[in-house]
Structure 1
Amino acid sequence: MQATRVLLELAGNVVLLLWGLHMVQSGLTRALGADLRRVLGAGLRNRWTAFLSGMGITMLLQSSTATGLMVTGFTATGLVSLMPALAVMLGANVGSTLIVQLLAFDVSHVAPVLLLGGFLAFRRGGKTRSRDLGRVGIGLGLMLLALHLLLATIAPAENAPMLQRMMGMLTSDPLVAVLLAALLAWAAHSSVAAILLIASLAGGGVISPQAAVAMVAGANLGSAVNPIIEGPGGDGGNPAARRLPVGNLVNRLIGCILVVPLLEPITAGLQMLSPDATRLAANFHLLFNVALAALFIGPLPWFARLLVRLFPERIAVSDPAAALYLDRSALRVPHLAIANAVREALRMADTVDAMLRGALDVLHSDDRKRVQEIRRMDDVLDRLHDAIKRYLTQINVEDLDERDSRRVSDVLTFTINLEHVGDIVDRNLMEAASKKIRRKLSFSSEGAAEIAGMLERLSETQRLAAAVFVSGDLRSARALMREKEVIRDMETLATEAHFARLRAGRTESVETSALHLDILRDLRRINAHLVAAAYPVLDQSGELLPSRLKHGTTWA
């Protein structure tokens, strides 16, 4: 029972240590995150400054993982090459050892001061940064308190022979000790917490000094496993994203391979330096990472090239929502910029066509996955429309003549209408399709044919609208305008036929009446947005009436 109680208390104290560490990291990231990223970015000029930057920032954040996330972001966006990024991780690993060196001293008497000061800053701080730094103070206080409780829990361990025997069995084999510590560091997501626990166990005599050395090496290895498992590059991602975490893991793995055969002489040397078992674990942690940094800092360029070869860049599939033709250098020549915007607008037209044809597929198949695909296409439309709009508004108005100004207006109007069509398909048609699938409803064969006929006609109308937009052909514009009457007549006939089926008591028509009528109305709205592409051409030719009101009508 005593061994069980000690293990439970150890687990609780480790959780308190981890929570304090989390508060320090989150508080510093919120208070100084932008400044730290700026310092790190400035330090990535070469491997030496990168090493120092990684060491300094890790000492502040108390986490080499947090530093690694920052530099991974730089490498993922191509802002920095792999070699200085690897140097940052070497520095981060050394920085984490300096944290352990500091916390290994008995500074528990400072914990109340940090807790009180942090609490007052957090509750009374008028500025956000003051509150965040207060959070840091509370976190540091909790860490020191947790370490004090760990030592207090482990101190009577000599009175728990079962615990000592169990830990002795687990750590008698160096390889098992390495793996056990690696598992502990992986589970805790923190090498600092794992090594402080190992130092506490060694100081309390629960594990031997030789086992402590092996476990410190294992804890370094385990903390490098998390980015491999949880980081980018998996599940079909870009393998290049794994270069940095794999490089860091290889660094730690080589260190463990070198340490295990030399455990006895390493332990003897450390005991000559300091007989205190707690300091022995902290000192080896420092020696381990400094030695690996010295070993790897020289051949880093070669090592980086090897990682690039092992994890080649995967050519990403082009983002359908990324603008392809909006060349900013063409903004100085308005007519070229407008032509680029027209090409991008045609990509929007192609997306609308795909959405209309997809809606027809959903009508026949009731495929939930297809519904989600069509809804994602609306996001593509939104992003393309936003890109075109921002691009055209960057053209200097003074450089536009009357014709160019009118064409800019036409492009914006066309893309707005296409974006509205996408919204109707997404929010109305796909919502109706989802309800139909969810409730397991079926249109009557005649009703389904009416909706399918209107969708097929709209797909043809969309292609005609794109042709009118590009060519400005008057005859095509007239044909497009006539589509308004065609769709209106189709809607009227379909509505009348639907009511006839309702009067006849057709079960399918009764169950889907609201959906059926909503879809017919939405298809007519889509047609109105597509037909609008004819208005500029007809207006310029003088064939568009200024008003649909009868002449001579007055309003009171």
Structure 2
Amino acid sequence: MTVITLSLHLAGATVLLLYAVHLVRSGVENAYGPSLKRVLAKGGERRVYAAASGTALAVLLQSSTAVAMLASGLAASGYLTLNTSLAVLLGADFGSALVVRVLSFDLGWMSPLLLAAGGLCYLKGRTDKFHEIGRMLLGIAFVLMSLKLIGEATVPLKRSEVLPAIVGYLAEDQVMSFVAAALFTWIVHSSVAVLILILGFAAQGLLPIEAGLPLILGANLGSGMIAIWLTRGFPAEARRVAAGNFLFRALGAAITLPVCGVLAGRIQALGTTPAEQLVHFHLVFNACLVLICLPLSQLAAGAVSSLVKSDPGRFDDNDPLAGRISALDEGLLDSPDAALAAATREVLFMGEMVERMLCPVMELLEHPNRRKLEEIRRLDEHVNRAHRGIKLYLAAINRGVLDEPQSRKGVELIDIAINLEHAGDIVSKTLVEIVRDKLENGNSFSNEGWTELKMLHASVRDNMRLAFNLLVSGDPAMARRLVREKERVRGLVRESRERHLARLRAGRPESVESSNMHLEIARALKEVNSLLATLAYPILKQRGDLLESRLRLAKVS
């Protein structure tokens, strides 16, 4: 096999591995994204629980970087403290190491089963969740297939005359090996993929322990670099999370790298082959990071906070909202009723910002405009800042003495703020990205499809105004109307999907080109509308007009 052929085979297997990991992560996030956020957010200050949650989520997502982005976003929104976020990421690092260990087993026999199950779920599933589960199963199958391809691609390297010289250099210059692995991991944005490549070379007898140890440490540090790069434009609260995790990894690498030579001769107990020894070394290294650094997370949080300063000038000077005075008056905290009224005003401000984000979406889909897209991004920052302020403000009220109605009102306002923040994320991270794709690719909708989407957008926009009027009035009749509108929008989405699929079956070229955009826009608008409908639930529940379940009660024979 020539060098070019071998390189192509290895590159193809590596790209398949990267794509497979992305499939698994996107499937889990799309199917269970809100649940994942709730799992992380309910940990409070319990660092052990936070670390365990990070481990479980990293195993599910097959990526510690994905967990780092979740934790960073929650920290920026005020759900997680920096101390807890660092604990989550320590657990995620260990979870990522567990994923690598599991994938190092010979699981090739599972590929056909996963392909069949994933394909059926993706093609025949009747709900979006089934499609995402299918995507996840297909991703795992592709991971296993890529591992087999990597093993087959590296077999001819055993006969290479150049390989001994390269391996000898890596074993002698451990610092260069460490730096190269860190940079390569940052470039491909997947430590799992890089570690599997390293283990694949070791399994073929191409990489001795002396060269493998610094490569493992470098890949581990490179994973921390990915999170720092991805959060570079985030608020300071999010950047501190990534920076703190990077410091933990760097500290572990700085302690371990100088003694790699000593460790190489003493880790035979970790496995019978170099591949087993390396994967177990990686697992033990991350377990030690959790045990040593978890008690130090509070200290690290203080150090990182002093290094990564807050950025009060984050908003553009030309932004008319930059100097806005918040309705959250701390002088009212001793008066619960007045404080709850102030929080309600701030929630209404959040709603106004989300409405301003949603309204121009259809215009931007027809005539994309980068300046207006940037304006939506700035509005989302205001929504996030208001959400964080509301949560902290209501927590301060709850430290006082509240009666039951006041306490219930505070919980309802927090829930509304959470849902509005989520709605803003859907607009800024889903709909805006679709506009960007359309701006780059120039795809167009069919006339029928465009009419359906405009009708759906107008319905959601009207329901948004209805929801905010309900927040002020608390009118039960208006609440019932909002819930009925939710069902009507759900029906519009279902009908639009069926018509769109009919156009696809008819081979309409414009429908084929815009298929993903059409379905994603409809789903995003439905999700926004469902979040708005939750404003009606407390009113209807208090009156006894809301069923606990939509399931029909089973007949008792």
Q: TM-score, normalised by structure 1?
A: 0.57
| 2:253 paired with 1:252 | no
Q: CA deviation at 1:288?
A: 1.1
One-letter code of the match for 1:314? D
Q: CA deviation at 1:126?
A: 0.8
Q: CA deviation at 1:171?
A: 4.7
One-letter code of the match for 1:267? A
One-letter code of the match for 2:112? P
Q: Which runs of 5+ in 2 are unaligned?
A: 350-370, 387-557
**Equivalent pair of 2:75/2:237 in contact (CA under 8 Å):** no
| 2:279 paired with 1:278 | no
Q: CA deviation at 1:325?
A: 7.0
One-letter code of the match for 2:111? A
Q: Residue 537 of structure 1 corresponds to which residue in structure 2?
A: none
| 2:321 paired with 1:324 | no
Shift in alpha-carbon separation, 1:273–1:187, aligned structure 2, 3 A: same
Q: Residue 6 of structure 2 corresponds to which residue in structure 1?
A: 6
| 2:266 paired with 1:269 | yes
Shift in alpha-carbon separation, 1:124–1:290, aligned structure 2, 3 A: same
Q: CA deviation at 1:164?
A: 4.1
**Equivalent pair of 1:17/1:142 in contact (CA under 8 Å):** yes
2: CA distance, partners of 1:93 / 1:284: 14
Q: Residue 230 of structure 2 corresponds to which residue in structure 1?
A: 230
1: CA distance, partners of 2:183 / 2:8: 18
1:295 to 289, 292, 308: 292
One-letter code of the match for 2:325? L
Q: CA deviation at 1:148?
A: 0.9
Q: Residue 71 of structure 1 corresponds to which residue in structure 2?
A: 71
One-letter code of the match for 2:293? F
Q: CA deviation at 1:258?
A: 1.4
Shift in alpha-carbon separation, 1:163–1:239, aligned structure 2, 3 A: same
Q: CA deviation at 1:3?
A: 3.4
Equivalent position SS for 1:132: helix
Cα-Cα RMSD: 3.2
Equivalent position SS for 2:207: coil
2: CA distance, partners of 1:332 / 1:263: 63
Equivalent position SS for 1:263: helix
Q: CA deviation at 1:331?
A: 13
2: CA distance, partners of 1:325 / 1:74: 21
Q: Residue 158 of structure 1 corresponds to which residue in structure 2?
A: 158
**Equivalent pair of 1:240/1:314 in contact (CA under 8 Å):** no
Q: CA deviation at 1:110?
A: 0.7
Q: Residue 482 of structure 1 corresponds to which residue in structure 2?
A: none
Q: CA deviation at 1:207?
A: 1.7
| 2:54 paired with 1:57 | no
2: CA distance, partners of 1:172 / 1:331: 68
2: CA distance, partners of 1:125 / 1:164: 51
One-letter code of the match for 1:75? A
2: CA distance, partners of 1:207 / 1:311: 39
2: CA distance, partners of 1:313 / 1:13: 43
2: CA distance, partners of 1:376 / 1:291: 45
Q: CA deviation at 1:316?
A: 4.1
Greater mean alpha carbon deviation, residues 309-318 or residues 63-72: 309-318
List aligned pairs for 1:183-198, cutoff 5 A.
Answer: 183-198=183-198
Equivalent position SS for 1:314: coil
**Equivalent pair of 2:154/2:201 in contact (CA under 8 Å):** yes
What do residues 262-307 of structure 1 show as CA deviations (whole Å, max 9, x unaligned)?
1133223322331212212211110111111112111211111111
Q: CA deviation at 1:117?
A: 1.1
Greater mean alpha carbon deviation, residues 247-256 or residues 167-176: 167-176
Shift in alpha-carbon separation, 1:206–1:248, aligned structure 2, 3 A: same
List aligned pairs for 1:251-400, cutoff 5 A.
Answer: 251-316=248-313, 320-321=320-321, 324=325
One-letter code of the match for 1:169? Y
Q: CA deviation at 1:249?
A: 1.1
One-letter code of the match for 2:113? V
| 2:128 paired with 1:131 | no
1: CA distance, partners of 2:163 / 2:30: 41
Shift in alpha-carbon separation, 1:113–1:376, aligned structure 2, 3 A: closer
Q: CA deviation at 1:242?
A: 2.2
One-letter code of the match for 1:110? M
**Equivalent pair of 1:240/1:312 in contact (CA under 8 Å):** no
One-letter code of the match for 2:239? R
What do residues 36-58 of structure 1 show as CA deviations (whole Å, max 9, x unaligned)?
11111112432111111101111
Q: CA deviation at 1:201?
A: 0.7
Q: Residue 552 of structure 2 corresponds to which residue in structure 1?
A: none
Greater mean alpha carbon deviation, residues 312-321 or residues 90-99: 312-321
**Equivalent pair of 1:63/1:192 in contact (CA under 8 Å):** yes
Q: TM-score, normalised by structure 2?
A: 0.57
| 2:179 paired with 1:182 | no
**Equivalent pair of 1:3/1:160 in contact (CA under 8 Å):** no
Equivalent position SS for 2:31: helix
1: CA distance, partners of 2:26 / 2:171: 34
Shift in alpha-carbon separation, 1:241–1:40, aligned structure 2, 3 A: closer
Q: CA deviation at 1:327?
A: 7.0
Shift in alpha-carbon separation, 1:327–1:306, aligned structure 2, 3 A: closer
Shift in alpha-carbon separation, 1:313–1:122, aligned structure 2, 3 A: same
Q: Which runs of 5+ in 1 are unaligned?
A: 345-371, 388-556
Q: CA deviation at 1:202?
A: 1.0
Equivalent position SS for 1:45: coil
One-letter code of the match for 1:96? S
**Equivalent pair of 2:17/2:193 in contact (CA under 8 Å):** yes
What do residues 363-402 of structure 1 show as CA deviations (whole Å, max 9, x unaligned)?
xxxxxxxxx79x979x99xx99xx9xxxxxxxxxxxxxxx
Shift in alpha-carbon separation, 1:272–1:316, aligned structure 2, 3 A: same
2: CA distance, partners of 1:89 / 1:206: 32
**Equivalent pair of 1:44/1:85 in contact (CA under 8 Å):** no
**Equivalent pair of 1:100/1:282 in contact (CA under 8 Å):** yes
Q: CA deviation at 1:153?
A: 1.5
**Equivalent pair of 2:76/2:236 in contact (CA under 8 Å):** no
Q: Residue 148 of structure 1 corresponds to which residue in structure 2?
A: 148
Equivalent position SS for 2:67: helix
Q: CA deviation at 1:142?
A: 0.3
1: CA distance, partners of 2:121 / 2:22: 18
Equivalent position SS for 2:266: helix
1: CA distance, partners of 2:314 / 2:123: 49
2: CA distance, partners of 1:310 / 1:190: 27
**Equivalent pair of 2:167/2:211 in contact (CA under 8 Å):** no
1: CA distance, partners of 2:252 / 2:325: 48
List aligned pairs for 1:429-468, cutoff 5 A.
Answer: none
Equivalent position SS for 2:186: helix
2: CA distance, partners of 1:37 / 1:147: 31
Q: CA deviation at 1:167?
A: 4.2
Q: CA deviation at 1:254?
A: 1.3
Shift in alpha-carbon separation, 1:263–1:90, aligned structure 2, 3 A: same
Q: Residue 106 of structure 2 corresponds to which residue in structure 1?
A: 106
Equivalent position SS for 2:78: coil
2: CA distance, partners of 1:132 / 1:74: 23
What do residues 479-508 of structure 1 show as CA deviations (whole Å, max 9, x unaligned)?
xxxxxxxxxxxxxxxxxxxxxxxxxxxxxx
1: CA distance, partners of 2:23 / 2:152: 23
Equivalent position SS for 1:298: helix
